[in-house]
Chains A and B, each alone.
Chain A
Amino acid sequence: MNALELIGLRAGYGSIEVLHGVSLVVPAATVVALLGPNGAGKSTLLKVASGTIATTDGCLHVGGVHVNGADAAALAQAGVCRIPEGRGIFPNLTVAENLRMWTGVGDLRPAEVAERTFGRFPRLGERRAQLAGTLSGGEQQMLAMSRSLVVDPAVLLLDEISMGLAPIIVAELYELVGTLAQQGIAILLVEQFAQTALAVADSAVILSQGRVTRTGTPAEVEEHLAAAYLGGAA
């Protein structure tokens, strides 16, 4: 069964339509890389799939259930977890308070949430009383990713989790992505660095100007990347 399915989806901001009928599926236990040039609508697509932006047309299915019109909090309860671009944390709350917020979904007690997070990212345990905004970029992203670890999502939407991070931390985060996929989670991955994403992906989709222009295995899609990003000459 497809954990996430978009059919002819249209959406945008106010009167400006960004997605002009996008269809794609993400089966359970699969990583799909969503690639494409700036402004193609990748982040918008993730926002629509998590209920932050409403769809104007088409269908959004989560776990086979039609969920058009559900808001972000409701979709979170239904098992969708989006880690937003930039900082997916509350900068003015401490690490421990951030983790407390993650208990809004799922049935883990605060102590269990802390245990799981600090088990995976011991560095966060050392900084539990620190304001999240004062953590290093890598630690902030670990804290953001810890939500996917503790809410037991069915669908995980990752928006540029490697942005601005050192390669060693990126590797650590992607190791976690692989583990989560093995646990059966459906993962849709947006990445600035196409190669990084393709290395862990089972399949890939190129989005260009609000439309899917290519779908295939990572190898198939890779050939067309340069043209999509830098124009014909490269």
Chain B
Amino acid sequence: MLRVEDVEVRFGGVQALKGVSLEVPDGALVGLIGPNGAGKTTLFNVITGLEKPFRGRVLMGDQDVTSLPPHQRARRGLGRTFQRIEVFSSLTVHENVLAAAEARRSWGRDEPEPARSASELLERVGLGDVERERVDKLPTGLLRLVEVARALASRPRLLLLDEPGSGLSTHESEALGDLLVDLVRDGRSILLVEHDVELVMRVCQQIHVLDFGSIIATGTPDQVQRDPVVQAAYLGTSAA
């Protein structure tokens, strides 16, 4: 579904990403974890086209999308949420999702009832009760769910989620985990960045660990958790 090949990003003299490659197979839920400043959000920006890589390629399916602008990539089935929340703060919760569904209708032509789809999606992420509220009245945790619903309204085949669980209660974050598993079961692929390690370990089949702009480990949750290199990255123990 998604292949990132040898992506390098520089900000001034600083290398934010140093030749990152990873793959998200069709229908997989892949986790991406790593300490703050490791380059996770930068990688998301490269994949969605908000950031131009200095080197490397991004492929969706067989197609090289590296030179496409963000909205063209979205139309090829890429959706995302943002770590620093990017809701439409002058619109209601429902309108936030509706705007995305309507956009889908205008370029996808397969969204007969955007208003109903928006309501259904909000119901699905657990925001059915607040859909008429202005979005700026919601706590941040719920805003992340608004973003998830909005991303789903574009009917993406691949979903990039940037810390959707932060600011959620334990209960809400469990529900989010179930939702993610459901979404993958429906045939979507997901790349998940999340600080809530327990959530990642629970739902992901495969995890990549990013540290200082490089992938330092890849494996199943169990493998990653036991990997001394990962422990070193997180805890500073001298790597064996």
Contacts and interface: CB of A to CB of B under 8 A. Distances in A.
Interface string B184-207: 000000000001011001000000
Given A39-B195, A133-B12, A230-B231, A191 B236 contact: yes
A133 B226 CA distance: 39
B140 A16 contact: yes
Contact of A195 (B139, B140, B236): B236
Given A230-B197, A230-B231, A233-B201, A38 B236 contact: no
Contacts of B108: none
Given A192-B236, A195-B237, A38 B195 contact: yes
A101 B10 CA distance: 29
Contacts, number: 54
B140 A231 contact: no
B220 interface: no
A15 B238 CA distance: 40
Contacts of A196: 236
Residues of B contacting A: mostly: loop
A37 B201 contact: no
A168 interface: no
B212 interface: yes
B37 A163 contact: yes
Given A133-B12, A191-B236, A195-B235, A231 B201 contact: yes
B225 interface: yes
Nearest to B230: A230
A44 B140 CA distance: 17
Contacts of B212: 164
A219 interface: no
Interface string A113-131: 0000000000000000000
B43 to A, nearest CB: 16
Interface string B132-155: 000000011000000000000000
A226 interface: yes
B61 interface: no
A194 B236 contact: yes
Most buried by A among B12, B195, B225, B235: B235
Interface in A131-148: 133-134
Contacts of B222: 233
Contacts of A133: 12-13
B36 interface: yes
Most buried by A among B13, B140, B226, B236: B236
Interface in A211-234: 225-226, 229-234
Residues of A contacting B: mostly: loop
Contacts of A192: 35-36, 236
Given A192-B236, A231-B201, A226 B166 contact: no
A38 B35 contact: yes
A191 B35 CA distance: 12
Contacts of A233: 201, 222, 225
B201 A39 contact: no
Given A39-B166, A133-B12, A192-B236, A231 B195 contact: no
A225 B225 contact: no
Interface string B1-41: 00000000000110000000000000000000001110000
A193 B235 contact: yes
A193 B238 CA distance: 10
Given A39-B166, A192-B35, A234 B236 contact: no
A190 to B, nearest CB: 11
A229 B195 contact: no
B235 to A, nearest CB: 5
Contacts of A225: 235
Contacts of B139: 15
Given A39-B166, A195-B235, A225-B235, A232 B198 contact: yes
Given A192-B35, A192-B236, A229-B235, 11 more contacts: A38-B195, A39-B36, A39-B195, A192-B36, A195-B237, A226-B231, A226-B235, A230-B197, A230-B231, A233-B201, A234-B225
- For the complex of A and B, list the 6 residue pairs with the smallest distance between their C-beta atoms, beginning with the closest: A193-B236, A195-B236, A231-B197, A38-B36, A231-B198, A229-B234
Interface of B: 12-13, 35-37, 139-140, 166-167, 195, 197-198, 201, 212, 222, 225-226, 230-231, 234-238
